């Protein structure tokens, strides 16, 4: 079967099966005739002492039933084995792609943060040591947390707070940031570094491109096992012609979408992206328990 059926050589397979049946027929006839009884077909109404066409057909049909039964078993076992291998391969590819997507977040994030530190060192700012310390905490989080499939939601929130503190340094009082957290966060788990890109986009596509007063709102609630995370930022003025991440976005939202598709069931999350009242909004509803 592996040599002929699986390689689609059906004519050769049929020919060899017929040859095997004929050889089996000769063996069965001679063994019965010389070792058991000269009547090789006792169930027949008349004694059969020779190799007749009727005897051959009846014997071969009976063996075809046996061959068909074991062929079905063989095909089923091989199909299950190959299906299992394919499933394992898909899982390995899934884990590899998730690790790759997580690794995309870190360089992008550090690129912006290191730019901030560079500016502070040029200005010989007293804030530089504090910024480096917060960056160190973020690096520690990335080093250990991103290896896990799920991380405590509180750890992810602390990471976001550190990131916001680092970004505040780049902006003056024209940037207003509000962050509200509510609900029971205990025992809540989330894919690590899943929320940071959403917050990062507020700064990258909102605050850094805005003229005038800027606002970023971050609201996180845990209700009945689901986290509702909403981030909003002022749409850049005076035009709305910037390349928002909702269109392509490079890493940003496209990364989050891909990670949600790979790491969560369809019923476990809902991602909404829209602009309203001159604010760009992203709402993520995610199962965290």
Residue 183 has what pLDDT? 93
pLDDT digits (tens, 9 = 90+) for 61-116: 888 888 889 989 998 998 898 888 888 877 777 667 666 666 655 566 677 678 87
Residues in Cβ contact with 117 at an 8 Å cutoff, skipping those fewer than 6 apart: 128, 131, 132, 135
Give the span between the Cα atoms of 198 and 229, in whole angstroms.
Answer: 10
pLDDT digits (tens, 9 = 90+) for 179-209: 999 999 999 999 888 898 888 888 776 655 5
Residue 109 has what pLDDT? 62
Residue 106 has what pLDDT? 55
The pLDDT of residue 244 is above 50: no
Cβ atoms < 10 Å from Cβ of 111 = 9
pLDDT digits (tens, 9 = 90+) for 153-187: 998 999 899 888 877 876 767 788 999 999 999 99
DSSP conformational letter for 288: -
CB 139 within 8 A of CB 107: no
Nearest by Cα to 155 from 105, 192, 197: 192
Which phi and psi (to 5°) does residue 172 adopt? Answer: -95, -160
Cβ atoms < 10 Å from Cβ of 101 = 21
């Amino acid at each position: 079967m592996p040599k002929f059926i699986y390689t689609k050589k059906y004519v050769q397979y049929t020919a060899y099966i017929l040859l095997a049946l004929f050889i089996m027929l000769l063996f069965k006839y001679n063994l019965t005739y010389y070792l058991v009884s000269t009547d090789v077909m006792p169930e027949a109404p008349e004694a059969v002492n020779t190799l007749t066409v009727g005897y051959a057909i009846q014997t071969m049909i009976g063996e075809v039933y046996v061959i068909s039964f074991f062929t079905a078993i063989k095909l089923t076992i091989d199909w299950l084995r190959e299906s299992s291998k394919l499933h394992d391969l898909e899982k390995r590819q899934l884990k590899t792609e998730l690790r790759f997507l997580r690794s995309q977040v870190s360089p992008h994030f550090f690129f912006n943060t290191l730019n901030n530190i560079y500016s502070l060192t040029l200005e010989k700012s007293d804030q530089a040591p504090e910024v480096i310390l917060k960056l160190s905490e973020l690096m520690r989080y990335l080093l250990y947390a991103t290896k896990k499939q799920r991380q405590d939601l509180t750890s992810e929130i602390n990471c976001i707070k550190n990131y916001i503190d680092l970004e505040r340094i780049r902006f003056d009082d024209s940037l207003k940031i509000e962050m509200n957290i509510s609900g029971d966060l205990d025992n809540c788990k989330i894919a690590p570094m899943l929320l940071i890109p959403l917050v990062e986009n507020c700064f990258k596509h909102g605050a850094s491109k805005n003229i005038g007063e800027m606002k970023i709102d971050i609201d996180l609630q845990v209700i009945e096992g689901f986290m509702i995370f909403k981030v909003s930022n002022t749409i850049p003025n005076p035009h709305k012609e910037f390349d928002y991440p909702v269109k392509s976005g490079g890493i940003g939202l496209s990364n989050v979408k891909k990670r949600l598709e790979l790491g969560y069931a369809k019923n476990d999350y809902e991602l909404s992206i829209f602009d309203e009242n001159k604010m760009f909004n992203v709402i993520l509803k995610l199962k965290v328990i």
